[in-house]
Amino acid sequence: MFPNPVTTGTVTVLPQAYGGSSDVTVYLYTSAFKLVATKRFPMVPAGRTVSLELVDDWGQDLADGVYYVAVVTKRNRKTATLVLAR
């Protein structure tokens, strides 16, 4: 995931390796583990990145702070931290 820390409104995510294509789902959680956004990207070819706008499921900009990001593909789930400092 880059950049990290984030100072803009988007972040680029490279999912873990998989073969062919896969639906990619990205979940954003606050540091208190509250789910604030779920983004789905259908049939992403292996090795491709996805761009994630840093807004919640209600269209509001995310507040500055630490977030947990879970990236789920057909083969695995990877969790990372993201620091938002605009």
Write out the two tokens for 77: 């789930």
User: How does pLDDT run across 44-59, given as a tens digit for each residue?
Assistant: 999 999 999 999 999 9
Average pLDDT over residues 34-50: 97
Does residue 48 sit within a domain? Answer: yes
Does residue 26 sit within a domain? Answer: yes
Q: Based on the number of CB atoms within 10 Å of its own CB, is 24 exposed (0-12), middle (13-18) or buried (19 or more)?
A: buried
Q: What is the pLDDT of residue 2?
A: 83
pTM summary value: 0.92
Q: What is the pLDDT of residue 1?
A: 76
Decide if 40 contacts 50 (C-beta within 8 A): no
Does residue 74 sit within a domain? Answer: yes
Whole-angstrom CA distances from 34 to 14, 18, 46, 50, 59 are 23, 28, 29, 23, 16
Does residue 1 sit within a domain? Answer: no
Count: domains in the chain:
1
